Every structure is written in C-alpha cells, then in structure tokens.
C-alpha cells in the first residue's frame, strides 16, 4: 500500500512541483492538495492521509493553526512541516501544535522522500539545523550535572542518540557508525524504551533537560 499524502502549500510552483515529484514515486499517493489552511482543515479529517506536508506561511489560517485544528479530530495523520522558517519560535510552536517532522524548503528531493518514509515508520525527521536548535535549547537547561541519558544508555546508544539529535536519517546514522539500518532501529527502540519516550523529539527533550 502506498503512503497517502496531502500537500498544503499556497505557492503554485512549489505545490505542483512537489506533487508531480511525489506522484511519480509508486510508494506515494497524493490524495489532494490545498492552497489554504481553511480548506485543508475541513478535508484532512475526512481524507485521513497518512502524512500531510504543511507549509507555515499560508494566506489566512497559518499552517501551524491548521495542524492544531486537524489534530483535534484525533486522526492518525502525521504532519510534516515544510517551510522556510527556522527560528526557534516557529519550530517549537509547530511541534507543540502536533507536527512530528520539520523540513526546510531547501531540503533536497531525495532527502524529502527518505524523511517521509521515516515519518511514516514512526520517526520524527527534521532538517539538521532544526534538530540542533532543539538540542541547544534543551542543553541550555543543563549545567554541570551529567545528562540523565548518559547514566542509563550504552555507549553505542549514546552515540546513536547524539547522531539522531543532529537530524540524521536512520541510514545516515548507520553509515556513520558502520552498522546496518536495522541495528540502528534496534538501538533507537531501546533508547525510546529506556527513556520512556515515543519519538525523536521526546527523546532529545528527555535526554538533555535538567533533572
């Protein structure tokens, strides 16, 4: 079964380009596209796509508000923010609204494909500098004490978490550590279990916040 998508983007060239590119991949099926958050917020709870690719700067309702409203329907849809904004306020507001991924529009098309697949499998892909902003924010809360994750995770799990926090995809982590992608998934699964979290964002939060 292909991964079903909806795209919310007001710029015609971006929306159409992304739609055509993803529609050419048999692993994806674009159900519909929207220019405004108002239209999308009505249809998304009905369509229930696996993933919504969501711009932030839309005419009228913002993409963040659209995510927030759509999530109230308790649908299993995942939201991938796709935007030019990389300031802390927008990032945290989007994640708080319910987004599970955050990519900048200068992300390469092949990376977008991998990120969508990772999101569909339960990951939380983000552009590397966005993930770094999250880490920096949480590390500001850490003073001289040792982060809690160092005490309960193995050396390899700590290495994996460090690379995960840099926004790397699973296959990129595997290449860095010289292990298979399945082994990376096993490490991340154990990290989530030990930290009692469910995704990348929660893991970074739990690992680097002050206790």
* Digit-coded pLDDT (tens) for 64-111: 999 999 999 989 999 999 999 888 788 889 988 999 999 999 989 999
Q: What is the pTM of this model?
A: 0.67
In angstroms, rounded to a whole number, what is the distance separating the alpha carbons of residues 48 and 187? 31
Under the banding of pLDDT at 50, 70 and 90, the label for residue 154 is confident
Q: What pLDDT shows up at residue 207?
A: 76
Structural domains of the chain ordered from first start: 3-125 (3.40.50.2300), 133-208 (1.10.10.10)
Helices (H), the chain: 12-23, 37-47, 63-71, 88-97, 109-120, 128-139, 148-152, 155-165, 170-177, 181-195, 200-208
Q: How does strand 3-8 pair with strand 28-34?
A: parallel
Cβ count within 10 A of residue 73: 12
Dihedral sign for Cα atoms in the order 156, 161, 166, 168: positive
pLDDT 10s digits, 159-197: 899 898 888 999 999 999 999 999 999 999 999 988 888
CB neighbours of residue 12 within 10 Å:
10
**What is the predicted pLDDT for the residue at 209?**
61
Q: What is the pLDDT of residue 166?
A: 85
CB atoms within 10 A of CB 209: 15
Radius of gyration for the alpha carbons in the chain, expressed in angstroms and rounded: 17
Exposed, middle or buried: residue 46 (CB in 10 Å: 0-12, 13-18, 19+)?
exposed
User: What is the C-alpha separation between 55 and 202, in angstroms, rounded?
Assistant: 23
- pLDDT of res. 144: 42
Question: Per-residue pLDDT for 26 more than 60?
Answer: yes
Mean pLDDT of 26-49: 96
């Amino acid at each position: 079964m292909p991964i079903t998508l909806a795209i919310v983007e007001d710029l015609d060239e971006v929306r159409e380009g992304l739609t055509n590119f993803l529609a050419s991949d048999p692993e994806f099926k674009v159900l519909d596209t929207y220019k405004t958050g108002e239209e999308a917020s009505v249809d998304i709870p009905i369509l229930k796509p696996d993933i919504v690719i969501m711009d932030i700067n839309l005419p009228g309702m913002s993409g963040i508000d659209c995510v927030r409203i759509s999530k109230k329907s308790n649908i299993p849809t995942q939201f991938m923010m796709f935007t030019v904004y990389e300031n802390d306020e927008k990032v945290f507001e989007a994640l708080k609204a319910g987004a599970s991924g955050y990519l900048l529009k200068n992300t390469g098309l092949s990376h977008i494909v991998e990120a969508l697949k990772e999101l569909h499998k339960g990951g939380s892909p983000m552009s590397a500098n966005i993930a770094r902003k999250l880490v920096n924010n949480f590390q500001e809360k850490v003073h001289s004490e040792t982060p809690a994750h160092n005490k309960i995770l193995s050396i390899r799990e700590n290495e994996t978490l460090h690379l995960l926090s840099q926004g790397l995809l699973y296959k990129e982590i595997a290449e860095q550590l010289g292990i298979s992608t399945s082994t990376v998934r096993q490490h991340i699964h154990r990290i989530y279990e030990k930290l009692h979290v469910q995704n990348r964002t929660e893991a970074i939060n739990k690992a680097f916040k002050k206790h």
